[in-house]
Structure 1
Amino acid sequence: MASTLWLVLCLCPLTLTMAGPTVTSSWGTVEGVVKTSPEGRKYNAYLGIPYALPPIGDLRFKKSQPKQGPSGIFRASAFGPACPQLGSEAQDEDCLTINVFTPTLTSTVKRSVMVWIHGGGFQAGSAVKYDPWKMVTEGDVVVVTLQYRLNVLGFLSTGNAILPGNYGLWDMKLALQWVQDNIEDYGGNSSQVTLFGESAGSKAGSYLFLSTKTKGLFQKVIMQSGSATGYFSFRNNPREVAVALGKRVKCGSDTPGVDLPDKGLLDCFQNMSVSTLVQNSIPNLGLAYYSADFTWSPVVDHDFVIDNPRFMIHDPAHLERVGFYDLDLMVGVNNQEGGYMVKMASRYGQIHNISALTTIRTQSYYKTKLIPLILGRLCGKFDKSSVDVIMNGYVAKDYPQTKLLTLYDVMNTQSDASIVAPSVEMANAHGRLTNRGKTYFYLFDHFPSFLANYSGLRGMVHARDLMYSFGISAADVLSSYHSNVSQEEYHLSSTFVAIYTNFAKRSDPNPAVKGQLGRDWPQYDVTNQYFLSLSTKMAVRSHVYPKRVSTWLDALPKADRHCMARSDTGSPDVIVG
């Protein structure tokens, strides 16, 4: 399934490079390169810096350990390999590297720092796909991109101390500590750090936001299409998944019908080749799983993640402990997040020679496959009546059973449960205290005109917004399906970048949009739920998709005690929408 990932486009411009400047920090001496953006602006890049010891041998499935630089000069002229995953890109288990991008112009004032966490469903992706030239050259910020362990190597867990899981999150924490220790020497301000990420990178950012282990390592967070509270952002049955993997790779007990003890699983997995582990990491569980679920996710380890994130964000005492209310937060979603589900279903249909796009629109599939999958991941146990609660949120009660559902109703059901409603839920948690950290919300409510002939899905499909935040010139790599890019689209890309960089520098995105809006973009609060409708024709509106969001945040928990959030007293507490 991870070969599905995918949607993340290579956003690295075809740029010229030349010998670059040298930086000496506590890590060591690093020689970077000078790059030239597609718009002819120069910027510095320090690539492939190893921030951790290779997570191999006894360090496989362990917390990452810091690595000091060499005694001589480290030549940082090329990205490091991707972390192991399904796919054909260059990869290696020794993959824990970061990349630092800075403006070439010197400044007496330390610049704000933005740390990017790439997406890929926690299964795939790499930092090499992202070159933040536009943010660096237009926004005048320092940008750091990082790599973290993925897939089975990043998130395998038996739910106990033998294989606790969350190794990818520990990698991110160590990379953030590297930033604290070294970024001042690259011209960055270590007390002005913004986390930002998309999809799994956004989910990871919210996990970092909720953990006691990362307090003080950043001051702001931008969540772009994902939250830790989404249904496949969290795994509540990790040992079951680990045992199933053990059976696929022949880590078996000598006694028929008896599972191998957890220590035996660890020994077997640690001594197995990476390729065997990764190639067997994804089970073949059918169309619904292939198109709407992911195997490897963060888990409760009682260390980095102390509880289900859906419970943590409704626990004010925990939120105070981690400093949640004092950080600034921007949350964003796209108007067609579920488009990636259509891509995945289409790919499944091609592989298995079936009409998958028709199948996912049948009421039988929707009611007996998709919704139960989502509820099972979100709530664990659930009442059968909950299926009808969700169905009624999207499909009219008198809708003929023999008539196919609209593709958009199916897409929205999946995307609301995984991205949109959880993002609103996170913004609600943060926006409850308006006198503390700032909260902003946007809906990227746009249809990229230059993708008019691509896939037939009108709107900002999941991950399409990356072309705007990383520079729309990167769309040149998509020349097979886009037409000429208009000046309006280029301007929207610059506006999007300015929103992010102004938030990183001043905790206020308004300078980027006030001229077009003719008014302020107000902060988000639980009562009004103001958001920016981001497009070539911007507007401020209130409550994102209220009926759809309410289905998940209000109707479902009221109808099913299994789907409630737990309060800090341990008693059930209905999620506030």
Structure 2
Amino acid sequence: MSVSALALSPLARGLFQKVIIQSGVASSKTLIVQNPETYLYRWADQVGCKPRFYFPGATRLYHENIRDCLMRLDASKLTAEARLSDGDFFATGLFAGGFLSPTVDGEVLPRMPRALLSDENYLRQNGVLDRSYVIGVTNNDAGLMADIISFIPGRPYFLLTDPSRVAERVKAAAKTQFEGEPSKEMLNVIDFVYTYPRNPDGSIPLQNVMDLTLDGAFLLPSLVFARALADKAPVYFYLFDHYPQLKSNSLFKGTSHAMDNIYLFDRPEDPSINLSFYANVFTAESEPIPAVYRSVLTSFAKNDAPTFTTASSTSAAWPRYDSRRKAYLAISTEPEVRTGVYAQRVSLWLDFLPKLARTSGFFSTGSGRAAYD
């Protein structure tokens, strides 16, 4: 995400020509802190660094006192005693936001990234359109939340699948894509698409929850970023669509957030570390993945027109992403060019829901399922 923020910054003009953005972009509203002072003061209070008195006109001294106190603490105290996000993490998840993120400071980021992306004059004047971009996500970036659960004794996945918590997640996801309070009609549509059919006990399948989080926190912001630039600069989109061999009782599937880097860099001595829900990452089936992934990104770095190697060992062109065809590269044991990544879910958010919002309004009083009454 920091790469995309730097690519939008006026301070980076002329510094580089190629950008690779993996699983997270600045256009995700959940990853940009709009009011950093709020987080700073709360954090300082939690770790005992908030001064007792504040004098108007002495803001700089107040902040310097906080900074000096924080610098005297070790990292373990800073992280152990501070809450890193708002609200119930397992309810709102990656939509909760947190203070360990870039902020709109007026210098590195002069405005919110989505506002910058919609300003073509700004993009041209600051060299954003003078670069080529690779933007991609994995097929289960949101799996990192299930990974967190896997380290809790008893693996209480119900923290993610309980309907009341998922209802909060649906609301949070809608608020990250649209301004204002989403209507009940909008929430009911999102709820139906992502939470039905349900399990016999009434809970929501874990993979459905992962899909909702993947779309809201990773995929949609990445596509917003790509679409804003695609007709003005070279943009190449990919989906890391490999499915590692999971344990037989796994409740979800796919490649979790940052898991693709295992195949990109040198093989770790013990790949099972922090991969407790995987049975075997490096199987005979996955053997081609490292070569495919590395060749794709190095081809982009070296060439104006990147290529990839097909399953039949022939070289093929990686087409640019555009607003019409929406072509992307699916990176797997058999890489191929496809069109419309998760097309129905993406169209829900970028086509249907905006129309519904214009029809029903964000403050509609229409009836809905129990979670939204």
TM range (shorter): 0.7 to 0.9
Using the TM superposition, give the Cα deviation of residue 553 of structure 1 relative to its aligned residue in structure 2, in angstroms. 2.7
* Contact 2:309 2:335 (8 Å CA) reproduced: no
- Report the equivalent of 2:243: 447
1:500-515 mapped onto 2 (5 Å cutoff): 500-510=297-307, 512-513=309-310
Q: Decide which of 213, 226, 230 is 2:24's aligned counterpart.
A: 226
- Report the equivalent of 1:327: 131
Quick one: distance in 2 between partners of 1:237 and 1:381? 18
Q: Decide which of 451, 455, 469 is 2:264's aligned counterpart.
A: 469
* Contact 1:502 1:509 (8 Å CA) reproduced: yes
Q: Decide which of 402, 425, 429 is 2:224's aligned counterpart.
A: 425
Quick one: distance in 2 between partners of 1:465 and 1:213? 30
Secondary structure of 2:137's aligned partner: strand
Secondary structure of 1:551's aligned partner: helix
Normalising to structure 1: TM-score of the pair? 0.54
Quick one: distance in 2 between partners of 1:475 and 1:536? 23
Q: Deviations over 1:139-189 (max 9, x none)?
A: xxxxxxxxxxxxxxxxxxxxxxxxxxxxxxxxxxxxxxxxxxxxxxxxxxx
One-letter code of the match for 2:330?
A: S
Are the structure 2 counterparts of residues 345 and 388 from structure 1 closer, same or farther at C-alpha, using a change threshold of 3 Å? farther
Quick one: distance in 1 between partners of 2:110 and 2:340? 31
1:311-350 mapped onto 2 (5 Å cutoff): 311-347=115-151, 349-350=152-153
Quick one: distance in 2 between partners of 1:262 and 1:544? 48
Using the TM superposition, give the Cα deviation of residue 327 of structure 1 relative to its aligned residue in structure 2, in angstroms. 0.7
Quick one: distance in 2 between partners of 1:484 and 1:341? 19
Are the structure 2 counterparts of residues 501 and 382 from structure 1 closer, same or farther at C-alpha, using a change threshold of 3 Å? same
Q: Decide which of 291, 303, 321 is 2:107's aligned counterpart.
A: 303
One-letter code of the match for 2:130?
A: D
Q: Does 1:371 align with 2:170?
A: yes
1:342-421 mapped onto 2 (5 Å cutoff): 342-347=146-151, 349-350=152-153, 356-367=156-167, 369-376=168-175, 381-385=180-184, 386-396=186-196, 403-421=202-220
Q: Deviations over 1:282-304 (max 9, x none)?
A: 25743426843452211111111
* Contact 2:244 2:280 (8 Å CA) reproduced: no
One-letter code of the match for 1:244?
A: R
Q: Deviations over 1:211-232 (max 9, x none)?
A: 1100111101111111111242
- Report the equivalent of 1:113: none
* Higher RCO by CA contacts (8 Å cutoff, separation 6 or greater): 2
Quick one: distance in 2 between partners of 1:551 and 1:475? 42
Q: Decide which of 340, 349, 352 is 1:552's aligned counterpart.
A: 349
RMSD over equivalenced CA pairs, Å: 3.3
Quick one: distance in 2 between partners of 1:511 and 1:446? 16
Using the TM superposition, give the Cα deviation of residue 405 of structure 1 relative to its aligned residue in structure 2, in angstroms. 1.4
Normalising to structure 2: TM-score of the pair? 0.81
The structure with the largest strand share of the pair is 1
One-letter code of the match for 2:88?
A: G
1:247-262 mapped onto 2 (5 Å cutoff): 247-250=45-48, 251-254=50-53, 262=59
Are the structure 2 counterparts of residues 475 and 417 from structure 1 closer, same or farther at C-alpha, using a change threshold of 3 Å? farther
1:84-123 mapped onto 2 (5 Å cutoff): none
Secondary structure of 1:360's aligned partner: helix
Are the structure 2 counterparts of residues 238 and 378 from structure 1 closer, same or farther at C-alpha, using a change threshold of 3 Å? farther
Using the TM superposition, give the Cα deviation of residue 486 of structure 1 relative to its aligned residue in structure 2, in angstroms. 4.3
One-letter code of the match for 1:390?
A: I
Q: Decide which of 13, 36, 40 is 1:238's aligned counterpart.
A: 36
1:20-39 mapped onto 2 (5 Å cutoff): none
Using the TM superposition, give the Cα deviation of residue 530 of structure 1 relative to its aligned residue in structure 2, in angstroms. 0.5
* Contact 2:141 2:218 (8 Å CA) reproduced: yes
Secondary structure of 2:181's aligned partner: coil
* Contact 2:140 2:255 (8 Å CA) reproduced: yes
Q: Deviations over 1:491-548 (max 9, x none)?
A: 3211211111111111333154495467433221111000112111222110000122
1:516-555 mapped onto 2 (5 Å cutoff): 516=313, 519-555=316-352
Are the structure 2 counterparts of residues 392 and 554 from structure 1 closer, same or farther at C-alpha, using a change threshold of 3 Å? farther
* Contact 1:517 1:539 (8 Å CA) reproduced: no
Quick one: distance in 2 between partners of 1:377 and 1:515? 42
* Contact 2:92 2:169 (8 Å CA) reproduced: no
Q: Does 1:216 align with 2:14?
A: yes
* Contact 1:207 1:305 (8 Å CA) reproduced: yes
Are the structure 2 counterparts of residues 360 and 237 from structure 1 closer, same or farther at C-alpha, using a change threshold of 3 Å? same
One-letter code of the match for 1:448?
A: P
Secondary structure of 2:136's aligned partner: strand
Quick one: distance in 2 between partners of 1:270 and 1:239? 12
Using the TM superposition, give the Cα deviation of residue 483 of structure 1 relative to its aligned residue in structure 2, in angstroms. 4.3
Paired-residue identity, %: 27
Are the structure 2 counterparts of residues 486 and 344 from structure 1 closer, same or farther at C-alpha, using a change threshold of 3 Å? closer
State which structure, 1 or 2, has the greater radius of gyration over its C-alpha atoms. 1
Q: Would you say how many aligned residue pairs link Structure 1 and Structure 2?
A: 347
One-letter code of the match for 1:505?
A: K
Secondary structure of 1:356's aligned partner: coil
Quick one: distance in 1 between partners of 2:199 and 2:110? 45
Quick one: distance in 2 between partners of 1:455 and 1:262? 51
Quick one: distance in 2 between partners of 1:485 and 1:535? 13
Secondary structure of 1:442's aligned partner: strand
Are the structure 2 counterparts of residues 259 and 539 from structure 1 closer, same or farther at C-alpha, using a change threshold of 3 Å? farther
Q: Deviations over 1:349-386 (max 9, x none)?
A: 53xx7x7312322322111x222334455557423434
One-letter code of the match for 1:359?
A: L
- Report the equivalent of 2:272: 478
Quick one: distance in 1 between partners of 2:314 and 2:345? 27
* Contact 1:517 1:538 (8 Å CA) reproduced: no
Quick one: distance in 1 between partners of 2:281 and 2:147? 24
Using the TM superposition, give the Cα deviation of residue 399 of structure 1 relative to its aligned residue in structure 2, in angstroms. 6.3
Gaps of 5+ in 1: 1-202, 562-577
Secondary structure of 1:441's aligned partner: strand
One-letter code of the match for 1:470?
A: F
Quick one: distance in 2 between partners of 1:454 and 1:401? 17
Quick one: distance in 2 between partners of 1:261 and 1:373? 36
Q: Deviations over 1:474-499 (max 9, x none)?
A: 26442886548445533321121111
